[in-house]
Structure 1
Amino acid sequence: MPLQNFSRSLRNPEHPLLREFSLITALLTGVYVWQQLVAEVLAIVGSPSAFGGIIVYGLIHGGVLLSGIGLLVGAYASLREFEIGLKPLSTSDLPIIGVAVLTPLVLVGLTKLVGIVTNVPYTSLTKTSVAANPPLGPILAILGLGLLVGVPTLVLICQILIQGSFCQAVGADGAIVLTTLTTGFVMTSNTGGLATIPELGKLLGLIVFVLLLGVALLGAEKAERRWLRYLAATPIVIFAVIVVLSGVSQIESIAGGLFAATQLTVLGIAAYTYDRSNSLLAPTLAYVSLLLANRTVVVLEAGM
């Protein structure tokens, strides 16, 4: 089938939401496989010392990883004919810029303040360790890798791949909500903060969700009695409840709850500001602000 015919067939599915979730899941799985492949190939080539040190190795690994993800997402967006917001921000976008930059700073500061009051170290939330009075070089190097690789990867996956897909099915406002919920599940790390690449367990959970969604939609379509339609939707409701309760059970303190809420809020802010500004720079600012705020608090905490 020619690519144009394939593209047209994607625009008129019987179940658009199931289509988008399926495509997102397949592409995120491809991103995960690409990450594993890059890591395996570089491991065969040599250790970090063979590349001239961990920093150079990180730049090579991150550059190759980001290039592959960029090509995949770019080809997908071209095939689906997404409108990618590449325009610069203007003075009319100042309120959006303020929301994107200030919200992460305020939330991280509030989380740190509550942590001080309740005696919960911020490093226990981010699950990072920094020595007392740490040297500036390694900190800046890690921060640079996060800015050069982590932030662009988040923008490509969250805004173009996920948010762009949902816009095809439910429109702009619905896409903001679904993007926030979906990225809040797959792009949060079990080791603290946002994940650059979805973890395997999160991907498996997303696959289960898509299968249950398909069963629910099929049951609603085929069942002749109303109670059978409700019964078909029961597994997906149970799955959602389990995911929520599992996430809540991992929160051990008020500061931990604020930390988790901060990650979800920033993902929502990124989706909202991208839609309202039609510029990828807006979510980029939100992710950069969160990264800088987290790193600053961790370093200051170690210094104190």
Structure 2
Amino acid sequence: MSRHTRGSLRPAATEFVVVAAVLVVLYLWQRLLRLASSVAFGSLPVAGGVSGALFLAGVVAIIGGYARVRHVDCGLRPPTAGDLPWIGVAAGSPLGLVTLTALVSRATGVRYGSLTGTAVAADPPLVPVVTVAGLGLLVGIPSLVVVCQVLVQGSFARVVDGDAVVVPTTAVTGFVTVSDTGGLAAIPGLGRLGGVVVFAVLLGGAALANERIDPHRRGLRVLAYLPVAALVALAVGSGVAGLGSVAAGLFAATQFVTLGVAAYAYARTGSLLVPAFAYAALLSANRVVVVAFEAGAGL
């Protein structure tokens, strides 16, 4: 007989543990590919394009296989005419917030490039800049869509009904994809990945312990989640403490809002192309601000 109780968090905890395991596999794939690329191509100009294509192919294959095994909907359908308002919201929200952040950063003397973690030489050649940016978008956008919507949102949709799935999706993707060096990255760095694994262990252990504690001993049931709450408070506190400026706060908020809008738009439309517009708008707008207004490329 199942020991699940009404309101049990075990199903959600199980999904998070599985997501964490897949993220570990993706991280190992990324590290292996970087090592192989450095050996095979060195500093050849084709290295970035080839490694980017192989990285994306691996991410799609790994998460596609995961979705197939666990019967997760991949959203491989085109948007309909009724989805056009959601496309507008998905693309418009990041563009508006990036514009606001750029204006605040200029007014407060904060370089926008310091927020995105990118630097471009003054008056750079237009073709190489556009080429590099284009390759980054071709790899970054589908990678984010597959990780955020198929892996994370698709997994939580198995146990969370309706629009409520947007909340855990935004929280998890916010921690996983918001890079320490600025911008969004589909695969978390080692530090964040370690945090994800530790959280998965604590959450899974708390969910199991909670089911084995007498339902009438509510104090002990709450204490079972105390380590989980402490880790969340530590992550949030360290993130807020590291902002350093109003512009940095707006930049972080822009990323979280974009992730939330993408998740909500996907929940409403069921098409992966709709959240792709949100990531495309954010990544391209960030690049345009840095290149056109700080490096003076005249874009």
Q: Which category describes the TM-score, using the shorter chain as reference length? A: over 0.9
In 2, the alpha carbon distance for the partners of 1:29 and 1:172 equals 28
1:103-122 superposed matches below 5 A: 103-122=93-112
Specify which of 1, 8, 21 is matched with residue 16 of structure 2: 21
Work out the CA distance in 2 between the residues paired with 1:291 and 1:57: 22
How far off is 1:139 after superposition?
1.2
Q: Which residue of 2 aligns with 1:10?
A: none
RMSD over aligned CA atoms reads 1.5
Cα distance, 1:91 vs. partner?
2.2
Offset at 1:250?
0.6
Give the Cα separation in 1 of the matches to 2:260 and 2:13: 22
In structure 2, the residue corresponding to 1:169 is in which secondary structure?
coil
Q: 14, 36, 40: which one pairs with 1:41?
A: 36
1:243 maps to what in 2? 235
Unaligned runs of 5+ in 1: 1-12
User: Equivalent residue for 2:3?
Assistant: none
Residue 164 of structure 2: SS of its match in structure 1? helix
Taking the aligned partners of 1:14 and 1:159, their CA distance within structure 2 comes to: 21
Q: Deviations over 1:242-287 (max 9, x none)?
A: 1100000011111100000001111111111111111111011111
Q: Does 1:272 pair with 2:264?
A: yes
**In 2, distance between residues paired with 1:191 and 1:172?**
34
Looking at structure 1, the residues matched to 11 and 208 of structure 2 have their Cα atoms a distance apart, in angstroms, of 13
TM-score normalised by the chain length of structure 1: 0.91
Contact 1:166–1:179 at 8 Å: present in 2 too?
Answer: yes
Counterpart position of 2:197: 207
Matched residues in 2 for 1:163 and 1:270: separation?
10
- TM score, norm. by length of structure 2: 0.92
8 A contact 1:219–1:228 mirrored in 2: no
Structure 2: give runs of 5+ residues left out of the alignment. 1-7
Structure 1 residues 28-107: aligned runs within 5 Å: 28-49=23-44, 53=45, 56-107=46-97
Q: Deviation digits for residues 57-112 of structure 1, max 9, x if unmatched?
A: 11110111111111111111111112222221232112101101111110000001
Rounded Cα–Cα distance in structure 2 between residues aligned with 1:117 and 1:74: 45
2:76 is matched by which residue type in structure 1? L
Partner of 2:222: 230
Distance 1:89 1:220, change over 3 A: same
Alignment equivalent of 1:286, drawn from 255, 278, 281: 278
Of the structure 1 ranges 185-194 and 224-233, higher mean CA displacement relative to structure 2 is found in 224-233
Is 1:171 matched with 2:161?
Answer: yes
| Whole-Å separation in 2 of the counterparts to 1:226 and 1:98 | 46
Bigger Cα displacement from structure 2, 255-264 vs 273-282: 273-282
8 Å Cα contact 2:10/2:208 also seen in 1: no
Among 296, 299, 302, the residue aligned to 2:295 = 302
Cα shift readout 1:187-222 (whole Å, capped 9, x = no counterpart): 110000101321111111011111111222223222
Q: Could you tell me how far apart the structure 2 residues matched to 1:22 and 1:258 are? A: 31
Counterpart-to-counterpart distance in 2, 1:72 and 1:294: 29
CA distance in 2, matches of 1:86, 1:247: 35
**What is the distance in 2 between the residues matched to 1:214 and 1:46?**
42
CA distance in 1, matches of 2:37, 2:60: 19
Cα distance in structure 1, aligned partners of 2:243 and 2:101: 13
Question: Conserved in 1, the CA contact under 8 Å of 2:79 and 2:273?
Answer: yes
Q: Tell me whether 226-235 or 256-265 shows the greater mean CA deviation.
A: 226-235
Which structure features the higher share of helix residues? Answer: 1
Q: Is the Cα–Cα contact under 8 Å of residues 184 and 264 in structure 1 kept in the other structure?
A: yes
- Which residue is equivalent to 1:253? 245
- Give the conservation status (yes or no) of the 8 Å contact 2:9–2:207: no
Deviation at 1:176, TM superposition (A): 1.1
Preserved CA contact (<8 Å) 2:113 2:290: yes
Q: How do 1:178-189 residues align onto structure 2 when only pairs under 5 Å count?
A: 178-189=168-179
Percentage identity across aligned positions? Answer: 49
Counterpart amino acid of 1:229? R
Shift of 1:293: 0.5
